[in-house]
Every structure is written in structure tokens, then in C-alpha cells.
Amino acid sequence: MAFIRDISDRFWSYVSPRKTQQKRDKEFKAKVPPLPRHTRQMPEITLDEPSSAKEMTPDTLFQRWKIATPSPRELRNYHSPDMISPSPPSSLERAYTDFEGDTLIDNIAQTLNSDPAEEWDANEETYVLDEADYVEQRKQQDAELERQRRERQGQELRNAGWTEDAIFLFQKLGMRGFEPLLPATWFADFPMLPADLFTRNIDKAFVKPSSPDVEYHAFRALDELFGLGGRVRDAVLQKAPIRTAEKQIRAAVLKYNKWALRDGKIDKVWRDSSLFEIISVPKHISASVAEAKMLRKLNKRAELWREGFEERRIQRSSLKNGKEAQKLDDEPELPTLYGVVACHTVMAFVSYDSQATVPLLRTVAMFDLGQEGYDVWNSLAIAIFVIHCRNRLLELRDSLPQPEQPSTPSDPDA
């Protein structure tokens, strides 16, 4: 019995609430792990004390701080130049200004226009305002007056020999900011844009998908296009050897155009027909070289459209259908072609009249993506340009040759 009583006492002592309370009353102690070896001896940082309290100003403090920025060669030992986040520079190198002080924009404009009196730029009066100033400025300006002014410009362009398609693009680029461009359903996705750029009338929205069911890909493509200005300036600041500023512009335009063609289901038309060509040249290349290169590409593109129209005419003439034969008299004219010239941070839209006896390039608009604050308007200009070419290509799709249907072998036993 004594043995059993002893076991009972020891068990009760183990589960006793009094003993549990005694453990709670003990001070909690944890063993402190030793510090890592590389942190045991920290270097002492001393700051120069000012001689008097009068010198304790922000200017004197900034002068006393010793800030060292690693050189690009040291940074390349750790990261790729394309992935480095640049430090805020004192001033961005104006890539469109050459050593003589002449701006690259003026050089391109003078070269792409044979007649100096016909220099036009749909982007010449684009300016940047804060959101509050923008609202006040829009109250003072009348969109109808601006539209009338653009109409007068359009008449002057007709007198100068411009095509109607190029005039429409010129006016559309100049009117951005004065008329709605985007569907109202995108307002929550782009809170940084002014409310006047959105409309509930889907017919008035110019930058939109071909079907409301694919809106997600549409605004995602536009959202990525809004970041083009930052990527261009980063390429200049980082002095990227491969993904240069002009190549960033080229890649962004082609990527947005790829979405637009897929959206319109015209990405696989006859010989991948397109209404524009794009070239990118470094800033040290002469503008006359860029002009000659663009003319060669657009001449080939125009010849391709002539072959397509002729082949489609032959296809329709071989059909013994009255309606198809009647369409031979309604063949559209050769379309106006366009070019995108990217030279460092400068981007230019040019037009090319395929029916002219001596085709030449006419500058529609020029943009400098190196300027901060204009990213939204420059990106909207690219979107308007690409969407315009897509819409025009949709109109001309029936005038291109149809792919031949594979013939099915006949069954002799049928």
C-alpha cells in the first residue's frame, strides 16, 4: 500500500495546478545566439561637426555628405545594363540635340519634307498640365473651336497634295485630349487619365477592341504601351548597348500592332500585308540615310499591294458570278502607306502616297519620348496610329487575294 501511495503522490505532484503556476511565475529566458562574425566589428562612421550652429543648414549638410556612385563598369560586373535601375540624374542627356546645338527633330523634319513650306506636325501644340490645371484649361477651351481649326488645316493639307487618309490621321492625332478616345469601362483601369478621354458611347471610342468580349487584352496592351517613355529614358540613362532607345520604340510599336491585328483577326492576311513600315536608326546616323531606307521599304510595300490587288482582280474575273463581276468596277484605290522612324528618343510618323508619280515622305507628327510628362499623350498617339492602320486594313481585307482552298480528292465509288 505504501508503494501505491507513493506513486499516487508523485503523479499528483506532476499534474498539480500549484506546480504549473510556479512554472508560470518563473522569468522567461532565451539563449541569445551569437552575432555573425562579419557583424561583430562594425566600422565607425564619423561626421564632420559644423564649426558653429549657424553652419547647420541643409546646404552645408549636403556638402559634407560624401556620396559615391559606382561607375557603370563596376555595375556591369554584377548586373546586366538592361536591368540596372538608374539613380536620379542631375539632368537627362538630351539625345535629340547634336554637338553643334541643332536639334535632331528639326534635322529629321527638314530632311523628310522636301518643301520647307509644307512642314506640318500634328503634335506641335501638345502641352503638359497638372490634373487641376488641365480641368481649368479644358473649361476655357472649346473642343468645337479646335475641331474647326483642324478642319482649316485639313483644307490646307488638301491643297498641298495630301491624301484624305493622311489628313484624317493628322487631325485625329491633333485632337487627342479634345475628344474621347477610350471606352468608359476602362476608367477604373486608368485612373491617371482625364475623365474627358472616356465615353459611354462605344461608337465614339477610337481606341477599342473589335469585340467587347476581349477588352482585357485591349487595355492590357494599352497599359503596357504607357510605360514606353520610361523604358526609353532608362535606355538612355543606362547607355544600354543592345536595347537602345530606338529599339525600345520599335519593339513597343510592333507589339501593340501585333495585338491590334490579332484583335481584328487579320494577323494572317495575304503575305502578312501591312499599311506601315518601321525603321530604327541610332542618333549619329544622318536623317537622309533614314529617309532613303524608309523610301525603299515603302516602295516595296506599295508594289506588294499592287500585286495583291491585281491577283484579287484575276480571282474575281475567273468567277462566273454577276455580283463578283460587278465588284470589279468597285475596286478601291491603293491605300496610303505610313512609316515610323525611330531615331534615339525621337519618333516620327510619315505618310507615303502610293499613287503619286514621284512618291515622297510627308511628316505627319513627331514626338520626343525623352521628355518627361508626355508619356500618356505619346502612347495615345501610337495607339491612334496603330488602330487607324488596323481599321483601314479591315476595310481592304476583301480586296486582297483569298487563300486557295485545298481540293478534296473525289471518290470514284461515290
Confirm whether 196 is domain-assigned: yes
- Write down the H helix ranges in 16-140: 17-25, 58-64, 72-76, 104-112, 131-140
Query: What distance lies between CA 127 and its chain's CA centroid?
Result: 19
CA distances from 269 to 70, 210, 262, 398, 401 (A): 51, 17, 11, 10, 9
Confirm whether 49 is domain-assigned: no
Give the other-Cβ count within 10 Å of 111's Cβ. 18
Confirm whether 264 is domain-assigned: yes
Query: Angle between the 104-112 and 287-317 helix axes, to the nearest 10 degrees?
Result: 40
Query: Angle between the 164-174 and 143-159 helix axes, to the nearest 10 degrees?
Result: 150
Q: Reduced to 3 states, what is the DSSP secondary structure of residue 193?
A: coil
**Which of 261, 290, 265, 255 is CA-nearest to residue 274?**
261
The whole-number pLDDT of residue 69 equals 46
Q: Reduced to 3 states, what is the DSSP secondary structure of residue 110?
A: helix
Confirm whether 51 is domain-assigned: no
The whole-number pLDDT of residue 8 equals 67
Q: Reduced to 3 states, what is the DSSP secondary structure of residue 107?
A: helix
What's the pTM?
Answer: 0.69
Confirm whether 37 is domain-assigned: no
Q: What angle do CA 330, 260, 395 make, to 5 degrees?
A: 5
Q: Which pairs count as long-range contacts for 372-375, CB under 8 Å and 24+ apart, including other chains?
A: 372/92, 372/229, 372/233, 373/128, 374/126, 374/128, 374/229, 375/226, 375/227, 375/228, 375/229, 375/230
Domain span at residue 121 reads 107-399
Give the other-Cβ count within 10 Å of 44's Cβ. 5
Confirm whether 113 is domain-assigned: yes
The whole-number pLDDT of residue 60 equals 42
The whole-number pLDDT of residue 148 equals 86
Task: State how far the Cα of 127 lies from the Cα of 91, in Å rounded to an integer.
Answer: 20
Confirm whether 198 is domain-assigned: yes
Task: State how far the Cα of 225 lies from the Cα of 396, in Å rounded to an integer.
Answer: 27
The number of distinct structural domains making up the chain is: 1
The whole-number pLDDT of residue 287 equals 86
The whole-number pLDDT of residue 370 equals 92
Each residue's pLDDT, cut to its tens digit, for the chain (414 residues) gives 665 666 666 666 665 655 555 555 666 666 667 766 555 554 554 444 444 444 444 444 334 444 444 444 443 443 443 433 332 332 333 434 433 334 455 555 555 565 555 566 667 655 455 444 555 555 456 678 888 888 888 899 999 999 999 999 999 999 988 899 999 999 999 988 989 899 999 999 999 998 877 888 998 999 999 999 999 999 999 999 899 999 999 999 999 999 999 999 988 888 778 999 999 999 888 888 999 999 999 999 999 999 999 888 888 887 755 555 555 556 788 999 999 999 999 999 999 999 998 889 999 999 999 988 899 999 999 999 999 999 999 999 888 887 665 555 555 554
Confirm whether 131 is domain-assigned: yes
